[in-house]
């Protein structure tokens, strides 16, 4: 693991700011792992905030909801931050923010106390909650592991440079997150609960340390990729997830703080997942911010809101700089897994030419999974899939660290990802 330059100071002290409603939202029908939703509204239909507008019959899926009230104007293919393109429902906002809530927010602790795990899981499914740290795996499935689990880890590590959204949530919404943790814990029936925070977030550590007694706050060194599930489990519990297995196989479930906050909002406020915190930062942005944004808002609106630009961006990244995805256009909308929007200038965006491997071993030393990235990459380039498999290609978590340290600028992750797909096939 490596300590990266953090670039967090730009936005970390900016309180979460509610961004004004956009005039139009583009809500992709796939914002999760699993089956894509089918639209449940037609062009011309009126929708209210939080109305379910897409769903599907499947095990792995999450419904999508309208994030503004207004009229459906299109259902069409639209740029998507992770998939390239995807069918999206376009809603023209009427600016009224008409709400769908059929009853008042549940504030009474006593009432919540009666919520059975079954009920909570149902609410989470209906609210369309997915893992908000970037993986976007439907949360209701992770609340329903096929085997009993005894340990819950709440991931507040936020190890990607630049991003500060989780940090702001932890500082500003500590109580709510703790309530969310309680709900998740109730679903899972766990005994041990850890909250993992990197040591570069003293304020968050303080908040949680003061407020939570049933939970153990684990302070981790800030280094990348500390927030990876496998790293958290190893560094907190000293256990390793067996190769090819998932954390629940060894009785552990990991949830991100933002996800837990969404669970809180869904259960206590009866609010589906239609907005989230997004960090907008990068050297081109003059006013870096942590914005509470409606899902479906084009990132251009976010950029304008944080403007004016200091310089023309040469690269726009959605997510963090290590695992995020560079975008072809600023038309892509914010989706449930959008943690940040980064604008890099020409210099930061430039990348050097790929050279032959000089076998310096840096990638081998830094790989958090203890793989030999250069050898997998070589096997992949030669299409020797069985060799790539022996080297453990399928265990790669795609953290990008090998690529980061490589002096020869070899596109290791790209090559390893390819091998991974072939090996799985």
Catalog residues that contact other proteins under the rule CB under 8 A: 4-5, 161, 230, 234, 240-245, 300, 312-317, 321-330, 342, 344, 348-352, 355-362, 364-365, 367-372, 374-375, 391-392, 395, 400-401, 403-405, 407-409, 411, 413-414
**Interface with ligand SF4 by CB under 6 A: which range of 112-120, 158-166, 171-179, 412-420?**
412-420
216 belongs to the binding site for ligand SF4 (CB under 6 A): no
Walk across the sheet containing 17-18 and list its strands: 17-18, 289-294, 275-281, 340-344, 315-318, 325-326
- Say which entry of ligand SF4, other proteins, none residue 327 contacts (CB below 5 to 8 A, set by partner kind): other proteins
| One of 373, 385, 388, 415 touching ligand SF4 (CB under 6 A) | 373
Q: Which is nearer to ligand SF4, 82 or 91 (CB)?
A: 82
- Say which entry of ligand SF4, other proteins, none residue 323 contacts (CB below 5 to 8 A, set by partner kind): other proteins
Q: Which is nearer to other proteins, 33 or 408 (CB)?
A: 408
Q: Which is nearer to ligand SF4, 2 or 83 (CB)?
A: 2
Burial of 177 (C-beta count, 10 Å sphere; 0-12/13-18/19+): buried
**Interface with ligand SF4 by CB under 6 A: which range of 196-204, 213-221, 269-277, 391-399?**
391-399
- Rounded to 10°, the helix 165-172/202-211 angle is 40
Residues 309-368 touching ligand SF4, rule: CB under 6 A, are 357-363, 367-368
407 belongs to the binding site for ligand SF4 (CB under 6 A): yes
Residue 52 main-chain phi, psi, to 5 deg: -70, 130
- Say which entry of ligand SF4, other proteins, none residue 416 contacts (CB below 5 to 8 A, set by partner kind): ligand SF4
413 belongs to the binding site for ligand SF4 (CB under 6 A): yes
Short-list 287, 285, 352, 282, CA closest to 317: 282
293, 275 contact by CB (below 8 A): yes
244, 144 contact by CB (below 8 A): no
Q: Which is nearer to other proteins, 6 or 198 (CB)?
A: 6
399 belongs to the binding site for ligand SF4 (CB under 6 A): yes
Short-list 264, 214, 230, 213, CA closest to 157: 230
Short-list 317, 153, 170, 142, CA closest to 227: 153
Residue 84 main-chain phi, psi, to 5 deg: 90, -70
Q: Which is nearer to other proteins, 186 or 411 (CB)?
A: 411
The CA-atom distances, in angstroms, between 53 and each of 63, 191, 217, 223, 251 are 8, 37, 39, 40, 35
Burial of 371 (C-beta count, 10 Å sphere; 0-12/13-18/19+): buried
- Say which entry of ligand SF4, other proteins, none residue 234 contacts (CB below 5 to 8 A, set by partner kind): other proteins
151, 191 contact by CB (below 8 A): yes
**Total site size for ligand SF4, rule CB under 6 A:** 28
- Say which entry of ligand SF4, other proteins, none residue 35 contacts (CB below 5 to 8 A, set by partner kind): none
Short-list 295, 251, 299, 245, CA closest to 275: 295
């Amino acid at each position: 693991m490596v300590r990266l330059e953090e670039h967090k100071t730009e936005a970390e002290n900016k309180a979460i700011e509610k961004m004004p409603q956009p005039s139009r939202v583009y809500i992709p029908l796939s914002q999760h792992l699993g089956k894509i939703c089918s639209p449940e509204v037609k062009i011309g239909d009126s929708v209210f905030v939080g109305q379910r507008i897409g769903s599907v019959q499947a095990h792995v899926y999450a419904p999508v909801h309208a994030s503004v009230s207004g009229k459906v104007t299109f259902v069409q293919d639209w740029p998507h931050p992770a998939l390239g393109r995807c069918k999206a429902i376009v809603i023209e906002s009427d600016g009224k923010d008409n709400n769908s809530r059929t009853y008042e927010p549940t504030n009474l602790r006593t009432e919540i106390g009666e919520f059975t795990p079954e009920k909570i899981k149902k609410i989470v499914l209906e609210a369309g909650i997915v893992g908000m740290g970037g993986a976007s795996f439907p949360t209701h499935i992770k609340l329903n592991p096929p085997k009993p689990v005894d340990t819950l880890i709440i991931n507040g590590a936020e190890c990607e440079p630049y991003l500060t959204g989780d940090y702001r949530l932890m500082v500003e919404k500590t109580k709510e997150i703790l309530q969310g943790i309680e709900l998740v814990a109730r679903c899972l029936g766990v005994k041990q609960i850890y909250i993992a925070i990197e040591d570069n977030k003293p304020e968050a550590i303080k908040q949680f340390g003061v407020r939570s007694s049933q939970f153990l706050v684990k302070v981790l060194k800030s280094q990348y990729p500390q927030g990876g599930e496998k790293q958290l489990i190893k560094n907190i519990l000293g256990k390793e997830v067996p190769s090819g297995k998932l954390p629940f196989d060894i009785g552990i479930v990991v949830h991100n703080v933002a996800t837990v906050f969404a669970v809180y909002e869904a259960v206590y406020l009866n609010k589906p997942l239609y907005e989230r915190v997004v960090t907008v930062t990068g050297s081109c942005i003059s006013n870096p911010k942590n914005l509470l944004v409606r899902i479906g808002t084009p990132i251009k609106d976010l950029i304008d809101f944080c403007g004016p630009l200091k310089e023309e961006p040469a690269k726009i990244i959605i997510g963090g700089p290590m695992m995020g995805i560079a975008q072809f256009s600023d038309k892509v909308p914010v989706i449930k897994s959008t943690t940040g929007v980064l604008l890099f200038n020409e210099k930061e965006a430039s990348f050097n030419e790929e050279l032959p491997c000089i076998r310096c071993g840096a990638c081998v030393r830094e790989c958090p999974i203890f793989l030999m990235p250069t050898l997998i990459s070589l096997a992949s380039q030669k299409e020797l899939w069985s060799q790539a498999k022996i080297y453990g290609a399928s265990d790669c978590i795609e953290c990008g660290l090998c690529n980061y340290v490589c002096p020869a600028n070899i596109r290791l992750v790209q090559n390893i990802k390819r091998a991974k797909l072939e090996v799985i096939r």
